[in-house]
Amino acid sequence: MRLLALCLLAALLPAAASAQNVLRVTPGADLTTLDPQGPSGTTAYIHGMMVYDTLYAQDEDLGIHPQMAAGDEVSADSLTWRITLRDGLRFHDGSPVTAADVVASLRRWMGLDTVGRTMAQDVAGLEAADPRTLVITLRRPFPVRQALANSGSGLPVILREREATAGAFTRQTEIIGSGPFRFAANEWLPGGRIVYPRFEGYVPRPEPANGFAGGKVVKVDRVEFIVMPDAATKAAALQAGEIDLIDQMPFDQAEALMGRRGITVASLSKIYNPFFMRPNHLFPPFDNVDARRALALAIHQPDYMAVAFVRPEWGQPCLSYFVCGSPNGITTGSEPYARQNLVEARRLLAQSGYRGEPVVLLNSRETLFVGMAGDLAVQNLREAGFNIVAAESDWGTLMARRNSRNPPERGGWNLFITSVSGSGIYSPLSNSIADTTCGGRNFAGWACDEEASRLRDQYIHEADPAKQREILEQLSRRLWEVVPTVILGQRAQLYAWRNSISGFLRSPSLITILWNISKSR
């Protein structure tokens, strides 16, 4: 296995990089899209935070701070926001970041992301008042800072106006960012290597770095992502010193590496990340609520935690749509699902009208904990009466297929398993798996429930914390009635690195922070 890692690294590492201080990282999955503003995978969001910047940012405790913004002025009625850009902001081509770029970027994001679409419903006007000032006019008060600091779904990153108005990203889209790293398009080898040199023109904020907030200081010459789908190959390369950091460390290999000399295995986030099974609400059987309830009753969370996450501290059962341990981690309405009930699951499944049609579960072993949970789900759900058919693929193919709205028998799907960032899920504003807004523009699975959507809207716009909590309780109860998503538990995000690197920042989300890291030569 080590020989395989050596051969792979020899083929991917350019000779010119050897004289530089290079941080070599193997990501959890390949980079399959360069667009971080819409629904995507973790690697694309890491790419987005490296190459671009945001107006506001979350610290490690989910607190919100200005980032590209110097500050804001909010009218007494909270309906007019004047946001001023800080000094020194430049794109990688040397051009200044202007309010026109910001306006175009936010308009694009508001058409792609759960949080952005929610904000768009309340935006009456979004204009550049001058090159450094944008004005947002609202129809009713809205948590603007929280939305513009979102890191749990599509990112509100700032693009140049020309990219922001050019439509969908393609392989030929020019990636000229506003962040601390540049994207080296000429060195990108899909499936092999992605390269990010330090952007010398980036001006960090003066405050100490904390999560995504504060001064983003890059302390290496470049970061290279070396794509290695095989978990054992990653571990061998780390031990041999050919890579420095494993992002999204597979849990079985994490246990094997613990205690190895010169290597650290740890989680870098204070908040756990929901792990769930997503049904497709567009097609039978899961267009019927009884089938979704049957699905939830078939689940025994401790079994999924055991097969996917190895150690109890790495995976925890949780019956909250808003992350257990978070400020909103309530379990109201989950009582019927506190224990597995296969008898009731079979009754509800029959009541739904299901007659044994194939149920397509998308599965991928490239993300090992998903593959292990998928194997268990095939066995588990067959016991409940579902005729489960596993569709195996690499992770990129799974990600592409889950966006298909074709019927399952024509390249679509019925179920997939994944995990998302707790930093987005803890709040109804950014919770993509609990967003039941009808119209088919929400998270893949396209749940639709007007009552849950109404309660979410009330929560977002309620200023009184006590009343907001009451609404949250009602929303939780309604979500467990309609089951837009089946929660399997929640997990830590693990990393493994050589002790020659230091300076890690704790991330509030699944997005690994790669500035502030030093590497001894």
- pLDDT > 60? residue 441: yes
Residue 10 clears pLDDT 60, i.e. is over it: no
Q: Cα separations (Å) of 381 from 198, 277, 280, 349?
A: 48, 12, 16, 11
Pick the closest to residue 304 from 332, 276, 279 (CA basis).
276
What integer pLDDT is reported at residue 14 of this predicted model? 53
pLDDT tens digits, residue range 277-313?
A: 999 999 999 999 999 999 999 999 999 999 998 888 8
Fill in the amino acid letter for 511.
Answer: I
**Segment 96-110 mean pLDDT:** 98
Q: What is the mean pLDDT of residues 182-208?
A: 95
> Is residue 47's pLDDT more than 60?
yes
Local confidence band at 64 (pLDDT 50, 70, 90 cut-offs): very high
Pull the structure tokens for residue 7. Answer: 């051969």
Question: What is the 3-class SS of 220-279, one letter each residue?
Answer: CCEEEEECCCCHHHHHHHHHHCCCCEECCCCHHHHHHHCCCCCEEEEECCCCCEEEEEEE
**Residue 12 confidence (pLDDT) above 80:** no
Is the pLDDT at 521 greater than 80? The verdict is no
Helices 231-240 and 2-12: angle between axes, nearest 10 degrees: 80
According to the model, what pLDDT value does residue 7 have?
A: 52
Distance (Å, whole) CA 27 – CA 40: 15
Q: Residue 17: its pLDDT value, please? A: 52
- 3-state secondary structure string, 147-186? HHCCCCCCCCECCCHHHHCCCCCCCCCCCCCCCCECCCHH
Residues 316-322 have a mean pLDDT of: 96
Buried b (16+ CB within 10 A) or exposed e, 416-441: bbbbbbbbbbbbbbbbbbbbbbeeee
378: its two tokens: 């095939």
As a whole number of angstroms, the distance between CA 50 and CA 45 comes to 9
Average the pLDDT over 484-505 and give the result. Answer: 94
**Cβ proximity of 501 and 515 under 8 Å:** no
For range 46-61, the mean pLDDT: 96
Q: Name which of 220-224, 226-230, 286-290 the model is least confident about.
A: 226-230
CA gap 243, 26 in Å, rounded? 7
Comparing 317 with 268, the larger pLDDT belongs to 317
The predicted model gives 424-432 an average pLDDT of: 91
Spell out where 8-51 has E strands: 22-26
Closest by Cα among 225, 259, 230, 260 to 245? 225
Task: Kindly state the average pLDDT of the residues 155-182.
Answer: 94
Residue 9's pLDDT is 52
362 with 413: CB under 8 angstroms? yes
- Summary mean pLDDT of the chain: 92
- Model confidence at 18: pLDDT above 60: no
Q: Is the pLDDT of residue 153 over 90?
A: no
List Cα–Cα distances, 131 to 86, 92, 113, 179, in angstroms.
Answer: 11, 18, 26, 19
Angstrom distance (rounded) from CA 236 to CA 240: 6
With contact defined as beta carbons under 8 Å apart, do 183 and 461 qualify?
A: no
Secondary element (H or E) of residue 362: strand 358-363
Per-residue pLDDT tens digits for 401-425 = 999 999 999 999 999 999 988 888 9
Residue 4 has pLDDT above 70, yes or no: no
Local confidence band at 508 (pLDDT 50, 70, 90 cut-offs): confident
Q: Is the pLDDT of residue 371 over 50?
A: yes
Between the alpha carbon of residue 242 and those of residues 26, 320, 321, 410, the distances in Å are: 10, 41, 40, 43
pLDDT over threshold 80, residue 391: yes
The domains found in the chain, sorted by start residue, are 2-246+495-519 (3.40.190.10), 273-491 (3.10.105.10)
pLDDT for position 421: 85
Share of the chain above pLDDT 70, in %: 96
